[in-house]
Each structure stands twice: as C-alpha cells, then as structure tokens.
A and B are shown apart, each in its own frame.
Chain A
Amino acid sequence: MSPDVLAGISQASGFLVLLSTVVGVFLGLTVGMIPGMTISTGIIVLLPVTFVLPADISIALLLGLYVGGMTGGSFSAVLLNIPGTPSASATALDGYPMSARGEAGRALGIAITSSFIGGMVSFLCLLFIAPLLAEVALSFRTEDMFALVFFGITIICSFAAQSLVKGLLSGVIGLAIVTIGQDPVMGTQRFTFGQVNLLGGIHFLTAMIGLFAIPQLVSNLVESVGGAQRIQTKLQSVLPRMSDLRAIRMPVTIGSLTGAFLGILPGAGGPIAAFISYDYTRRISKRREKFGEGTVEGVAAPESANNAVTGGALIPMMTLGIPGDPVTAILIGALIIHGLAPGPLMFTERGDFAFGLIFSFFWANIFNFIIALTALRVLVKLLATPRSLLMPTVAVLCVIGSFALRNNFFDVYVMLFFGLVGLAMRWLDMPVVPLLLALVLGVPLEENLRVALTSSQGDISIFFSSPIAVTFLGLSALSIIWSIRSARLRQRSDPPSSKESSP
C-alpha cells in the first residue's frame, strides 16, 4: 500500500472525522427522509458550517450526508409513498405496497441492506478506478481539458428531456452568467457595471443556494402542509430474513453495477439509475407480474442502485473536477473553499487527502448501515417535525451560507436574486440543473478554449490533432444525438412522470 493510502485511512479514521461522518449520516438520513428537503438542500444548508471546520472533517460530514440521504429517501417512500428524494422514487413502487400490507419493517430492512451493498460496491470502484483515472488525466493538455469539459456540458441535454428548448435555454443563461467578472485570459472586466463585488464573478454556490432553496421554501409556504400525514411508526423486525437475502442477490448485483457505472457517467444520477435497474430487474425476473405489488426485489434493485451512484459520481469529481450531479457540484465548491481543487493533481499533490476522502466514504457507508438499522424507529418519528420549525431554519442558514462564502453581504443579494430566478424557472417549468452545470463548467470551458487557442496562436486544428480531444469531441456528438433521440422516443411513448432529475 502506498503511503498516501495509509495516510488516507488514518485521516478518515481519526475520532473527530469519524464523529462528523456519523453526524453527517444522521443528518443525511433525516434530510433524505423529509419530503421537501433534497440532499442538495441539506448540503447547501450545512455548507457555512464546513467553512469554519478543517477540510477533512468538512468532507466527512458532507459525504455522510450524501450517503445517508440516499438511504433516508427510501423511508418516506416506503412509509408515506412520498419519495424523500427523487432518487427514491422507484423505491416507492414496491416499497409502499409492502408497507400497506403491514410489511414496512421488512421493506425498510431490505432497502437499508441493499443501500449498504450498493454503497460498498461503489466504494471499491472509487478506490481502484479513481487513482488510475487521475494518472491518465494528468497528461491532459489544455485542448484535451476543453474537449472533456465540452463533453461534460453536453450532459445538459439529458437533463432537458422534458423540453429540449427549455433545458438548453437554462444552460445558456448559466453560460451567460459565467461571463460576469474578470475575463479569465485577458483579465478585462465584463458585465461588472463598475461594481467591485462583481469582479470575482457570481460564485456558483451562492447562485445554487438561491436556485434550490428559495423555491423550495416558497412552495412549502404555499402548500402549507399541515403535517396531517399519518405516519406508521409501528415497525416489526427490520433485520432481513435469509430467504429475502437470497431473493435480492440478483437485483442487488444489477442495481449496484448499474448505479456505479451510471454514476461515473456524468449526468445520469440517482433517479435514472434507480429506474433503469428496477426496470431491468423486472424484465429478467421470473415473477415479473408481481412487481409493483410489493416485492423485495423491487425495493432492492433501486435502493442498491441509488447508493451505488454516490461512489461512482465521486470518480469524475475527484479525478477530472467534473461534477456528475448537483451534490458533487456542491462538493467541488466545498473543496475549493478549503484550497483543494478536485482534479488530476489532487492525487499527486494531496494524495493523502484524496484517499482520506475515499475512506471517509467507506466509513459513511458503514455508519449508514448501522445507524439506519439501529435508529430506524427514532428517525421515523422525525418525519413528524413541523415545517414551521424546519423552514425558517433553512431560510436563516441560506442567508448565513451565502454571506459566509466570501464574507460579503453583496452575495446575500445575489442569492436572493437567484431565488427569484429559481422561482421564475419553476413557474416556467424550466429545469434548474442545466443552469447549475453551466455555472460549474462554464469557467473551465471558456478558459481552456481560449488558453488552447493562445497556445496554438489561433489555430483551431489544435482540437483535432490530439487523440484525447478528438475522442471526447466524438463522445460529445454521440451524447447529444443519443439524448435527443431518447427524448423523442420518450415523447412518442408514454409521457414520463414529472420527476426532477436531481437526487
């Protein structure tokens, strides 16, 4: 084992780091479970806390929340038929019928176990694939990075499945916002209107807090859900039976592998992985007509898939600096604040931290399993937390978070402005994720394009002379064609249930 791996294990296994992993998992289970709170919102709310904490503790906390949230989402899906997170939507299909006939404990036990296995499979992928990929990525030149980021940007199409025009528009708005601030190559001021606070550009985390949290606060206010939900808190044994474990072997294998693979591909994310593995498991199952009536297989496949996505999504985040979903986009921001820019150099320069992150992910999965199984009954009671307490807390933390990012009150106004943008987009039925991806990827896209052209003295052929760049540009073309085609196919068949593609 290399010294970096050992340093990583010891970083992740210190008392305070482990403690923050536990806290993160607990918060994640809670946030994931409560309908109306997504994992992204949970992480955004926690961000200001991480600014004052050391990097290793911060990342352990956020990873714990990420992992716990994926599992927590299944609790409300099973008990209330309301997925706590979009990634848990598929779990409700079979989980709720099981709980309706009095098998809630059994369904949750299966969900927790499948989550654990999915998470561990993706941990192994992360541990073995990420360092290799980082080594390859080190040889990427500016033109290769441009092609890679361009490929990342094409993900926007897959988030725009409902209306390509609206999705692309959302992405273009994001790219336009990125041009505010200093020109990355010449340093000229652009669209700052003489406002010194705009020189540093719009911080994407500020924008994200506004875009995600404000519309959610408003809709909670408008809906004024009185918490009249009757929650089934009586659970039988949650420990899975041997016969169930045997029955879920195949679904969990399918779910874990699908989830990890789709996680690595930026853009797919939890909900898609969960539905694909549910669908595939049903197709090969001998009792496929039982699916939807409450089968353990139907719970196991999506639950293992959405947890497997987490480790998969961390691979491109850590090695290429490309986020696969909103959560990893926020994680990139959180790491940058601590001076740790994810990317190929992370494994060379801060290998100890990179492996520390990987092993914190490992612990997060272990604790998630233990806490979910042992504290299930307590956690489920939290479902009854009144929103009149929850939402004001979120609002206060949004203001603190956007201020604390750069210690600048101007950013609070920026956050509120993006809150209005988020509301308008929700009203127009325009997806937010393309805008977010454009905010994250827009800067490296422009920077690499222009530095590459500086290097080649304006000769565009530089993008077609490097095999890596050509490969990624080709993949970009495929990605665009594929998502347009699948969008058409989906439109032609049944209209999809309106699930937002964020975990």
Chain B
Amino acid sequence: MNMFRTMMVGAAAVGLAVAATPAQAFPDGPIEFVIPFGAGGGADIEGRLLAKKMGEILGVPLTPVNRPGGGGAVTYTYIKNAKPDGHTIGWNSTSVLTTTNLGNTDFGYEAMDHVGRVEFQPQPFAVKGDAKWNTFAEFVADCKAAPGTLKVANSGTGSSTHTAAIMLMDAAGCEVIHLPKGIKGRNKSVLNGEADAMIAPLTGAVNLTKAGKLKILLMPTDARSSIFPDVPTAKEVGFDVTLDLFRGLSVPPNTPDDVKAKLADAMAKAANSPEFQDLAKKKGFTVAPLGHEDFTTLLASEDVKVKKVFTSAGLLNSKSKK
C-alpha cells in the first residue's frame, strides 16, 4: 500500500527540498507515519486523519504506512531502529506496553522516545442487551456463586482488553474463563450468547449499545463517559481499576528535543482540529493531548499495572522466554 503515495511524496519532497532555503530546519522533507495495525481499523482511520492534519500544520506531507504484525511489535521495532531525525514517527497505542511486556520485542517501551498522547477511550465491561444482569454487582454475585463458569470475551491474549478484563475480574474476586475471541469475534460471541460478557474498546461497542443489543455495566476509567453518562466507573462501584486504550506518537530514541517539541506542537494542534474532533464524536473516543513529560509519566504508571497483571497471569515475557 502507499507505494504510489510514497513515490508522489518523494517527488514532492524533491520540490520542497529545492524550495527550502534554510538548511537543517526540521522538517525538511516528508515524514513517514507508521501505523502498527492494518488498514481499515480504528488505529488506521484515526491515524490517517491525524497525519493529514499534522502535515497541513508542518507544511510537509506525513505519509501513513501500515506495518502490521505481532500486536504492534513490527512497527515498534522499526521505530526503535529508525534514524532519530523526526522523519519517522510511530502511531502508538496501549499496545506499546502490552506487546513489549509479552516479550514480542526484546526491549521495553522506554527504548523509544515518546512525543505525547493524542486521545484515549475507556474499555467498557458489556453484556448482551437482554442479559439478566443490570449492574456489575449482580454479575459478580452470579460469578461468585459459580466460580469458573462465566465467560468474558476479549480481543486477544495479552491485548489491552484482556489486560483490563483480568484487572477487573481480579479486583472483584471473580473467577471467569477469559475467551480470546479476536476483534471480530468478540462482539459476535456476546451477541450469540457464547460469552456472558466482554471488555471492548468503547468505539467498538458504541453503536451496538445505542441499538440496545449490548448493555454496558461499568467502565474501568477515571471519569464517566460523556456518551453514556449513566454508566458508573469502576471506582464508583468500589473497584480501583483503570486501564484506558490510548493512542499517541513515538519516535526513535535520541531524537533531538526541539524536533520532539515541534512534533508535539503539531500533534496537539491536529488533535484539536475540528475534523479530528468530529471523528472523535462520531466514533466515541476522547481527544486529550498530553505533552512529552505527562505522557512519559502516564506510560510509566500504566507499564507498572500491565507488568503486575501479566506477572500474575503468567504472561510476562511469555513469548520470548519459551
């Protein structure tokens, strides 16, 4: 994909390079915007729009390139080894913590530099629209009455939905069967009754919930969602569990600070553009740009959570060790 676009960008770059008078000023050419997941998914659609807006702000094209594989590992490896001149940036997500801790990469998230966060979305706990449970407490009660029988679907072993599901079930003292149904199969399994509940990114559950086919019991996040203001957070119900699905930008290690600052500025402006805000409203994610410092702090605290959950579930570095 994007062969032609890359070539066109290349041609444009030649033109720009000729036109640009002051040497060494960033950006002095097109920027490769690497998306860790396949075309057509949430990460792809949101990333492409952000790249387009950032390109308008920086005055150079940002070329979106999908490099899927290994739950993001292929892209993160590519970013870590790329030239640190700001012309290769990665569209990261919570996967930067999960895939690294699973051992898909031989490095952690700290091996890259991080420009900032763009957006996040809660990962609601949902059941079928006509399920007998109307609150999370009722689900927990049934779960405790018959441990190890209720099934909770997620997007895949070690994914952020799986991580959130383990955290929530552990906090509630629930013993359930976690079903790694994949992104496509997850919703279907709840709808046809195979799974009793699921954790899904909000964007993946908004439409079905609005149509009454799904019921969201709670969200393991900090504040109530503006789309479903009646749904309590996990904290309100008494479980101190938060794990959001975030997306932001990463760059190769040792990228100069002024380059990062320039990227962060363009990123925040693009995130606050009306087009990106519209997409957020339509799909159900929250635009909340964070700068380099705050994002790094957030990554550190979330990494601790992920490590803790993976250790207890026996998933930490499970892929490389065996």
Residues of A within 8 A of B (CB): 48, 51-52, 55, 138-142, 181-182, 184-189, 196-197, 199-201, 336-341, 343-345, 400, 403-408, 447, 451, 454-455, 457
Contacts and interface: CB of A to CB of B under 8 A. Distances in A.
6 contacts: A138-B188, A187-B318, A196-B69, A196-B70, A200-B70, A337-B1
B180 A451 contact: yes
A455 B1 contact: no
Interface stretch (B38-46, B124-132, B166-174, B220-228): B38-46
B192 A138 contact: yes
Given A141-B192, A454-B179, A345 B2 contact: no
Given A186-B157, A339-B38, 15 more contacts: A52-B4, A140-B192, A184-B180, A187-B71, A187-B315, A187-B318, A188-B318, A199-B69, A200-B70, A201-B69, A338-B39, A339-B39, A340-B40, A345-B184, A447-B182
A189 B104 CA distance: 8
| Chain B interface category by residue count | 35 or more
A84 to B, nearest CB: 29
A404 B1 CA distance: 4
Contacts of B70: 182, 196, 199-200
B5 A189 contact: no
A345 B188 contact: yes
Contacts of B185: 142, 451
Contacts of A406: 66-69
Given A451-B179, A455-B194, A52 B5 contact: yes
B71 A339 contact: no
Interface of B: 1-5, 38-41, 44, 65-71, 73-74, 77, 102-105, 148, 151, 156-158, 177-182, 184-185, 187-189, 191-192, 194, 315, 318-320, 322
A305 B191 CA distance: 39
A451 B156 CA distance: 10
A454 B69 contact: no
A189 B99 CA distance: 12
B73 A196 contact: yes
B160 to A, nearest CB: 13
Nearest to B183: A341
Contacts of A189: 103-104, 319-320
B67 A407 contact: yes
CB-based closest 8 A-B pairs: A339-B40, A200-B69, A199-B70, A51-B1, A141-B194, A187-B157, A196-B77, A189-B319
A182 B69 CA distance: 9
B101 to A, nearest CB: 11
Contacts of B181: 142, 451
A140 B44 CA distance: 29
B181 to A, nearest CB: 6
A337 B189 contact: no
Contacts of A451: 179-181, 185
B74 A186 contact: no
B203 to A, nearest CB: 13
A3 to B, nearest CB: 14
Given A337-B40, A339-B38, A343-B184, A52 B2 contact: yes
A336 B66 CA distance: 14
A464 to B, nearest CB: 17
Contacts of B182: 447
B97 to A, nearest CB: 14
Contacts of B41: 339
Given A451-B180, A455-B151, A407 B66 contact: yes
A187 B177 contact: no
A451 B194 CA distance: 11
A200 B74 contact: yes
A338 B41 CA distance: 8
A336 B37 CA distance: 12
Given A182-B70, A197-B69, A187 B188 contact: no
A228 to B, nearest CB: 37
Contacts of B320: 189
A189 B1 CA distance: 26
Nearest to B156: A187
